[in-house]
Structure 1
Amino acid sequence: MDGLRLDGRAAVVTGGAGAIGTAIAADLAALGARVTVADVDLPNARRTAAALPGARALPVDLASPASVEAFCAEAGPVDVLVHNAGVSVVGPFTASDPADWDLMWQVNLRGPMLMTKLLLPGMTARGWGRLVFVSSDGARAGSGGEGAYAATKAALFGLAKTLAREAAKGGVTSNVVCPGPTDTPMLRRVSEAEPGLVDKIARGIPLRRLGTPADVAGLIAYLCTDRAAYITGQTLSVSGGVTMQ
């Protein structure tokens, strides 16, 4: 089908060394994009990039404005920007440490804001661009033990919608994707401390299984193509039916 290729487009995926980030990078590369795998974990970012045609890895620490600025200067013109990176510190909100709040807002919100501020003008000047913010179903519906994380990820909704309005005349779309329960190494590590947790979660999902990184990546890749050129300002869940609107 026409409009489902990204040949000649330059794409950045933050958190590209993680499970979901690797799947996003792979799908964008398969559609023809030149992918930059951006991550604070440079060795694993390089491994991800090495498996993809024409891809490269660059380091970025979203908690550091200087690192974000250096990354943007080295990345060059960017057409597709997928803000996938995130950090969560789990625990009851009343027992949480404000120092952890600072880390989460720096990585989950301030970093994406700054990177977008630096790269968006080039997109609008060229008349084409795609912004995709990866949030969480926990930010839409709440999630026990993730108060500060949910707050920082929920802030992406307002940012993405504002950018959808401001950048529309420049041919740039801006959307949010919210993964639900997804089978990642992080979830598996958490489940080691609570046997049966994964099965319990899966039973509560209408489709009766956890999501996969590929489930999330497929929607993101579509939103980055010309076929999705009339979709902007939207928040979409990939949750097997846990969240319905």
Structure 2
Amino acid sequence: MNAGTSSGQDWAFKAQPHAGRVAVVTGAARGIGLEIALRLARDGARLALADADAAGLEASAAKVRATGAEVITAAGDLSLEATAEALMQATRDAFGRIDILVNNAGGGVILPFLEHTPQTLKQTIDRNLWTVLWCCRAALPTMQKQRYGRVIIIGADSVMSGLWAHAAYNAAKGGAHGLTTGLAREFARDGITVNTVAPCAVRTPQLEEIAAKDPALVERFVSIIPMGRAAEMAEVASMVSYVASPEAAFVTGQVISVNGGSTMRG
């Protein structure tokens, strides 16, 4: 192959890199998921938004529709196989294809490990790993038929930094990081890329809720970030939009940190 070719991909910069594409965003009722949905909508995508919070999901969908984007919603527990399958079928029914899957649904119970209960451990694994497994399994056959797809998993920089009170959460997110490399190799010849975007502490409503209960803990989270602040949600969404784009056709199997330098690799 000529080193200057791009396997048929049109990777030239576009003002709306996702024009004509269909994106599924999970965990879209608020926070990072909503910010990602808004960014992809502004970048031209049509969207299927999912969350367990039906009321919050509809409120978020209204904000995304205000950008001019076409949007459908599907509420339910994505840690269940049937819910993930129904989401992808609804997306195919509405738009005829699935180009981008953003696995953002999550939200761990942040506790010192020995303070976890069997219920909180299961909840953390269900939200952050089973949602990803089922959604990928439901979406990948469509992408394979299309010979095009972008799978993005929202991981966690804490998997690498070993953040306080994150052991169970890191077990779930670490599983998702491992899934990234396996799927990336398995589907590399199908025009599908698989990457994880791994933020550090992000200034979300969820972080503000933790700060209200335990401000010292959040200060510790931020203390390991050389830039001295949490990430903005828009900074995470920007990276997601890039790896979801045609321009990122040769980026796959990567865990990409958006972390202000909290972990660094040479």
Match runs of 1:26-45 below 5 Å: 26-45=38-57
Which residue in the other structure is 2:21 paired with?
Answer: 9
Q: Is the 8 A contact 1:29 1:55 kept in 2?
A: no
SS at match of 1:150: helix
- Tell me which of 189, 214, 224 is aligned to 2:234: 214
- Tell me which of 84, 87, 94 is aligned to 1:71: 87
Match runs of 1:49-64 below 5 Å: 49-52=61-64, 53-64=69-80
Q: Which moves more between the two structures, 1-10 or 192-201? A: 192-201
Please state if 1:47 is matched with 2:59.
yes
Which residue in the other structure is 2:259 paired with?
Answer: 239
Q: Is the 8 A contact 2:105 2:131 kept in 1?
A: no
Q: Is the 8 A contact 1:36 1:49 kept in 2?
A: no
Runs in 1 of length 4+ with deviation above 3 angstroms?
194-204
Amino acid across the alignment from 1:191: A
Task: Measure, in 1, the Cα distance between the counterparts of 2:58 and 2:204.
Answer: 20
SS at match of 1:182: coil
Evaluate the alpha carbon distance shift between residue 200 and residue 150 of structure 1 in structure 2; reply closer, same or farther with a 3 A threshold. closer
How many residues are paired up? 245
- Root-mean-square deviation (Å): 1.7
Give 1:140 shift. Answer: 2.0
Task: Measure, in 1, the Cα distance between the counterparts of 2:244 and 2:230.
Answer: 24
Give 1:87 shift. Answer: 2.3
- Tell me which of 137, 140, 147 is aligned to 2:160: 140
Q: Is the 8 A contact 2:78 2:134 kept in 1?
A: no
Percent of aligned pairs with the same amino acid = 35
Match runs of 1:1-245 below 5 Å: 2-3=13-14, 5-52=17-64, 53-76=69-92, 77-195=97-215, 201-202=221-222, 204-245=224-265
Task: Measure, in 2, the Cα distance between the counterparts of 1:99 and 1:201.
Answer: 25
Amino acid across the alignment from 1:51: K
TM-score normalised to structure 2 length:
0.86
Which residue in the other structure is 2:6 paired with?
Answer: none
Task: Measure, in 2, the Cα distance between the counterparts of 1:120 and 1:59.
Answer: 21
Give 1:197 shift. Answer: 5.6
Task: Measure, in 2, the Cα distance between the counterparts of 1:66 and 1:145.
Answer: 32
SS at match of 1:51: helix
Amino acid across the alignment from 1:16: A
Q: Is the 8 A contact 1:178 1:235 kept in 2?
A: yes
Task: Measure, in 1, the Cα distance between the counterparts of 2:116 and 2:234.
Answer: 32
